[in-house]
Chains A and B, each alone.
Chain A
Amino acid sequence: MTALHQATEVVDPVPGASAPHLPQQPDLIQLLTPEGERVGHPDYPLDLSDDELRALYRDLALIRRWDVEATALQRQGELGIWASLLGQEAAQIGAGRAMRPGDMAFPTYREHGVAWARGVDPLQVMSLFRGVDNGGWDPAKLGFNLYTIVIGSQCLHATGYAMGMQRDGAENAVLAFLGDGATSQGEVNEAMIFAASFAAPVVFFCQNNQYAISVPLERQSRVPLYQRAAGFGFPGVRVDGNDVLAVLAVTRAALAAAREGQGPTFIEAFTYRMGAHTTSDDPTRYRLASELEEWKLRDPIARVKAYLARSGIADHAFFDSVDAEGDELAARIRTGTLDMPDPAPTEMFDHVFAEQTPELAAQRAQFVKYRASFEGGGH
């Protein structure tokens, strides 16, 4: 054993963070227990109609069905890769549904649930993972930026966008998505400094899913993540990320505060990535099966279903209809993905600049000529 390894192993665990993978954490805001029991919280009252509650269940179930289909399509060779959101449905739907039309979301590459909530067609996400484009949706129209793959970079874009809203006098706010790993990035910390200094209307929504690919949270932070916010000078709050009601209530409150000029909030949605980082990953190499079993008991969808059924808000017919809708959605996603045309070869030249350069135009022309030199103009 090297000295470095020894040194790592003798470090005392941080008090209160000794078992960070287990959900028994202090200050965890919850409105719906894992068993499906509705509980109150003095700071986060939430009054939803039965329709709204059923709609949340539908969102959760449909994005999971989409996710399952996408994973299957990747396994069948139809997607280059897929970043599964399995286990994070409540965090994403709660956050996405807390937003208003004029608000703007800045996602990473796993926010399919938020994309759904913002009205992005799933096929426009699938086209990215199939390698057709980098995401086909219109960010300004939907209030949902394109996926940003460099970890944490989008937090600065979110902050700058919020500074723009301030200058416009807009009564809107920005929701910046990041993960636990991203909190180690310099750019994320710079974003929080800019946001605090200018009191920008931005909410940092951190899905702490416990792992940055294989590296557990303890390597990113020696304190619970939500406590980081205090050092930047704005509130930090930890919410049960598997509780869609709590996430909705907490995110709504933070966005409202931002819209009212109270500046940023950091939300730590405490959750768990139940699947692999992506379809290229093998989580059995770095985490115990027992840990996953523990989190399965806290599934974000099962608790909503239990609550709806037990309280009589939804019946079998409703759940069956959502299942059927999910199968239809999955079929549409499958067919749509398989039918997706490849982009035209010249497309790679077309949007490098708003004003094409003569150099690139010449390269493009040469490329066209080269391709045409083959018999029949094909490959």
Chain B
Amino acid sequence: MSKMITKSLGTVGLAVILSTTALSGVSMAENLKVAWSQDATGLDPHKQTAFSSIRFLELMYEPLVRLDKDAEIVPALAGSWQFNDEATVLTMKLDEGAKFHDGSAVTPADVKASFERILDEEVGSAARANFTAITSIDTPDDMTVVFNLDGPNVPFLTALASVNAAIVQASAIEAGTIGTEVVGSGPFKYESWTPNSSATLVANEDWHGGEVAIDGLDISVLPDETSILAALRSKQVDFALINDPFVATLIPQASGLKLAKAPVLSYHVLQLNPSRGPLTEQKVRQAISCAVDRQDVLDTALLGEGAVTGPLTMAAYATPQDQLFCYQQDLEKARQLMAEAGFADGFDMNIMAATGEPPTAASEAQVLQSQLSEIGINLTIEMKELNVYVDHWLKADFDMAVALNGGKPDPYTMYNRYWTKDGNLQKVANYIDDDLDSLMAQGREEADPAKRKEIFQSFEKHLAEVSPWVWLYTGYSYAGTQDYVDGFEPTPTGSLFGLANVSVNK
């Protein structure tokens, strides 16, 4: 009965859609219908650091450089760039055709104003921490920007590859309209946004980066990923971003749908708090690292969708895992380490995880709980609402935490906040030693790629051995699409920037 109703309604609905398409011609119909489960939290590219905001804003705003699908740095607003030999001065040439959505050219003055805004403490840009190395910015001509840095700083370039360092109009900064109006230079122009509900973007015909094959994007926010799957199946959505591996694995099984996936840089990790009780003992932390079967956690919590990783998740720097401390589960060794530390009988601790962030957090906590009980560590799981979790996390008010932390293509930009003596989040990591600090400093200054790799491999091996955290694995970024959507390339950052190259071939 209800089947018939839905069917007949569907048919009528289809007829209506067909007739409107016929009336409006072809040009109207090619807005790509996009769905995701978490929406942006705001429109100011310098302030919004949530991943859900970044992937939305980078469709409209552009930084000077960006990362391609292999995490290599490629031109965005800057067409070319050059470090001086000491890596203290970075000179960038802007791309000639770069224009803002209102038609005005992107100038070095806009670049300078944008970075001055990021560095202005009154603005409250969290990305400021990445750019405090800038001592001054010169604009010698109307195509060139020169960044003068306070010392050798090779990773500075990767830090620029973020929409949190997007170039906005100097005039918009002056008018105070950043965050309420969106005038970027990216492949899509802002049309409308209703938070947690929907957004519409139109293709930027004058985009300097090339031609955008679709007319625009109709984005809907469907908070539950199983409903995104339903929407894909019923062809109400052309392209969807999926976080939950359980939902993602169902997509290739549905006819007419395909799944694009790419390994990402962000990593699932068991954060230990080395300032808490038994965790102050290195041997206890090592025992935990040995007791955890990373592949087993991955197989259960993510249905095997991912790969076990060491601290460095970028392929260019990663150390082979057989060289990392205890990367194969070794319960014998774990028990022995526990005994040596004086905890042969184990101990009780809490482990916190955020509800639904990542979707697999509760499962991970449960498998870890089961695995650690093998060496006498009894964990109590505390699931916390995301903001409550963040609150505790920032205060380092936890024994252990299940986390999904963001990754960067450069080890220094990725970890200086945690594993340097003056890192902003050192108080969260709660562990530092001279080796880590000096290796980071060397990595920052070294320009030679081979030597850098060597430095960071030592860093990684040491980090895995002192085990302040237990690195687990990286997952995938998933995009589920209809068969007729072509050209999307997922990236290791989970960026949706590839939508600029997508075409619809019905």
A and B bind: no
Measuring CB to CB, which residues of chain A are less than 8 angstroms from any residue of chain B? none
